[in-house]
Amino acid sequence: MEKDKAIKIGLLLVITIGFLYWGFNFLKGKNVFTRTNTYYAYYERIDGLQPSASILLRGYKIGQVTDIYFTNKKYESLTIEMSIDESVEIPENTIAQIFSSDIMGTKSINLIMPYSKDNEDVAILSHNSTLLSDIEGGLQDQVRLEMAPLKKQVELLIEQAAVAIEQIKYVLNESTGEELRSSFVKIQQAVDAIRNSSVTIDSVLSNHNIQNVLAHVENITKTISNKSDDIQEIVDNVASFSNALAQANIAETVLMTDSVLTELNVVLQRVNAGEGSLGTLLQSDELYKNLETSSMNLDKLLRDVKENPKRYVSFPIFNFSRDKKNK
């Protein structure tokens, strides 16, 4: 009787210890009834990740974080121990990324497996292997990234507003305000002058003489339009003349003329210098004197011939007849 009672107490104690063991491990994130593999990952920071945090693959829970501790006494990094279901094969280069699994900021680990083709052999990590680590930006970091451009725009807007306020202060200054009022008065005067000018222009355009001038201009335009063929013919003739003039060897003619003028200039210089017969003739004073003397003698001779023609002119016919009569 006492033996049966002891056995029952022993069985109850074993069951209680087993339940406590299972509960303790369950609270730690371990499931003693599921066979798992252990993996590790190293992080510089974990942003509040706690033991028993879920390990997800495409949103499906495949394990839990079993332990977290500093890697060394320098506290440079943290080691995360993960327990993952043995049926899940973890390939190489798998990334264990810490992320916020809910709006409250609860941290979990998401496994990001590398992409591989079906016909490509990928090595599978074994028990106690190390995974690559990564940490997703928190909500604060995301808000900071989203707010950074807006912050720059707000700062720029504030600077522009400050400049605008300074300009308004300058405009509202007493002396500047007086200048603005004076400017507005001048602008109004200019507008009035433009209005008066438009009225004057309307009156001028309505004048009968202006209308006649416009009518004449229209007639001239029509005449030019009707004579467009003649004008085109004149333009063609001018173009033909210009082409013929361009084709003419004017340059050679000019060169020949210049050469002739140069030779003539040389001849004239030699004549002026008294060279040659013509130069001697033009430069000789004796020739001039002889010509003058000859001219005077010729003049005397003509006068004497005029006064005494019989002295120089004889009529032999009349003398011959006179001799016959004498015989």
Q: Indicate whether 51 belongs to any domain.
A: yes
The answer to whether residue 231 sits within a structural domain is no
pLDDT at position 138 over 60: no
Whether residues 116 and 25 share a domain: the answer is: no
Show the domain range for 67: 36-136
Q: Are 61 and 150 members of one domain? A: no
How far is 183 from 189, CA to CA, in rounded Å? 10
What was the pLDDT predicted at 320? 45
Residue 276 has pLDDT above 90, yes or no: no
- Whether residue 11 is found in the same domain as residue 95: no
Rounded-to-integer distance, Cα 139 and Cα 145, Å: 10
Q: Do residues 55 and 24 both lie within one domain?
A: no
Q: Is residue 168 part of a domain?
A: yes
pLDDT band at 143 (very low <50, low <70, confident <90, very high): low
**Do 86 and 127 share a domain, yes or no?**
yes
Q: How far apart (Å, rounded) are the C-alpha atoms in residues 100 and 56?
A: 12
Residue 130 and residue 42 share a domain? yes
156 and 120 assigned to the same domain: no
SS3 assignment, position 134: strand
Q: Is residue 116 part of a domain?
A: yes
- For residue 142, the model assigns a pLDDT of 62
Does residue 232 fall inside a structural domain? no
Amino acid identity for residue 224 in this structure: I
Count of domains for the chain: 3
Q: CB within 8 A of 98, min separation 6: which ones?
A: 43, 46, 47, 49, 107, 108, 109, 110, 133, 134, 135, 136
**Residue 51 sits in the same domain as residue 117:** yes
**Of the listed ranges 19-23, 76-80, 90-94, 138-142, the one predicted with least confidence:** 138-142
Q: Would 228 be classed as within a structural domain? A: no
Check whether residue 61 and residue 149 sit in a common domain. no
Domain membership flag for residue 312? no
Residues 111 and 26 in one domain: no
Which of 136, 156, 191 is the last residue in one of the domains? 136
DSSP designation for 119: T
Which amino acid makes up residue 166? E
Whole-prediction pTM: 0.39
Residue 85 lies in a domain: yes
Mean pLDDT of 221-248: 79
Strands (DSSP E) found in the chain? 36-43, 54-57, 60-70, 78-85, 95-100, 107-112, 129-130, 132-135
User: Is residue 65 located within the same domain as residue 121?
Assistant: yes
| Dihedral (Cα; 116, 118, 121, 122), 10-degree rounding | 40
Residues 51 and 14 in one domain: no
Q: By the 8 A CB rule, do 94 and 125 touch?
A: yes
**pLDDT above 70 coverage of the chain, percent:** 73
pLDDT digits (tens, 9 = 90+) for 153-162: 888 888 888 8
Residue 278: its H or E element:
helix 276-283
Whether the pLDDT of residue 196 is over 60: the answer is yes
The DSSP symbol for 62 reads E
Mean pLDDT is highest, among 30-34, 99-103, 107-111, 177-181, for 107-111
Cβ atoms within 10 Å, residue 2: 6
DSSP state of 115: P
